[in-house]
Amino acid sequence: MKAVAIKKDLTRAEATADLQAMGILRCDACGDDFVIYHSPAFVNKSVADRQAYWLEKVLAEEHERDKKHPDRIELPD
């Protein structure tokens, strides 16, 4: 796993200790916050920006389909 988004209220120190937080994205529809994490060997701000854009679309699509957001979402490279 290189990158993952985890709901902010579920981010525990032990679960994310080996990951670098890259930013937070809020779902426009419901207000859920997701923290984007990268593994230390993969930290890249421009990739995180692209992943945030991708995640924003995924979260919107989930609302269109009345689907609940998962607690953890694997992000593309």
- Flag whether pLDDT at 12 surpasses 80: no
Backbone phi and psi for residue 3, each to the nearest 5 degrees, phi listed first: -150, 145
3-state secondary structure (DSSP) of residue 57: helix
User: What residue segments make up the domains of the chain, in order of their start?
Assistant: 3-74
Contact assessment for residue 4 and residue 74, using Cβ atoms and an 8 Å cutoff: yes
Q: pLDDT tens, 29-71?
A: 999 999 999 999 999 999 999 999 999 999 999 999 999 999 9
Angle among Cα 31, 47, 7 to the nearest 5 degrees reads 30
Predicted model pTM: 0.89
Cβ atoms < 10 Å from Cβ of 69: 17
Residues 6+ apart with CB under 8 A from 23: 35, 36, 48, 52
